[in-house]
Amino acid sequence: MSGSTNSRINANCPQPSADDSHEHEHSNIDPPSWPRGSLLIVLKLVKVVWASPNSLLGVCVGGVGLIVGTRVRFRGGCIEFWGGSIPWIFSRLPVRPGAMALGHVVLAIDEATLHRAGPHERIHVRQYERWGPLFLPAYGIASWWAWRRGRRAYRDNPFEVEAYEDDARRAALETTRVDDNNR
């Protein structure tokens, strides 16, 4: 390129001033400064996409039941299905859960169970956000490993241990609140 073309290109780029810090000496453009809220939205979107294969499975399981009376709502970043065909589907599983998370979908046999087990299932939703499509195989391997060591395949699964520990923390906080209100 000719010298005049370079001058025109450089004239359109911000030039560092004499008082700029040394961290910018190799770059003429400052990195974008995103508001914190924007970064949180992008991070949440990445988590949703990462968990989406499991969420799609949950939508398929719950969605089929809409024909026969399964109820649905969107709450707290999750799609919740209950009733209808869910109890029938759960009765065909090797274990008989009252509720189950699949990605950002929570399935429950009825609304009361959904209300009671919802916080526990939300822990699993966060686990799906961390593990994404690897969650179901990891959960199965963790259950197998616990069983293989002579432990309980469900309750000693590290994913369930985390969820039940959170249940215990919430129960302790609720007991403390009730005690404080009765004084």
At 36-84, the pLDDT tens digits run: 788 889 999 999 999 999 999 999 999 999 999 999 999 999 999 999 9
List of residues 6+ apart from 141 with CB closer than 8 A: none
13 confidence band (pLDDT: 50, 70, 90): very low
Task: Decide if pLDDT at 103 tops 80.
Answer: yes
**Starting from the edge strand earliest in sequence, which strands make up the sheet with 99-102, in order?**
71-75, 78-82, 105-108, 99-102
Type of residue found at 10: N
Is there a contact between 162 and 120 (Cβ–Cβ < 8 Å)?
no
Whole-number pLDDT of residue 9: 42
Whole-number pLDDT of residue 16: 46
Task: Decide if pLDDT at 11 tops 60.
Answer: no
Whole-number pLDDT of residue 30: 59
pTM over 0.85: no
Mean pLDDT, range 114-122, rounded to an integer = 96
d(CA 94, CA 153): 12
Is there a contact between 76 and 61 (Cβ–Cβ < 8 Å)?
no
- Say which residue, 166 or 30, is predicted with more confidence: 166
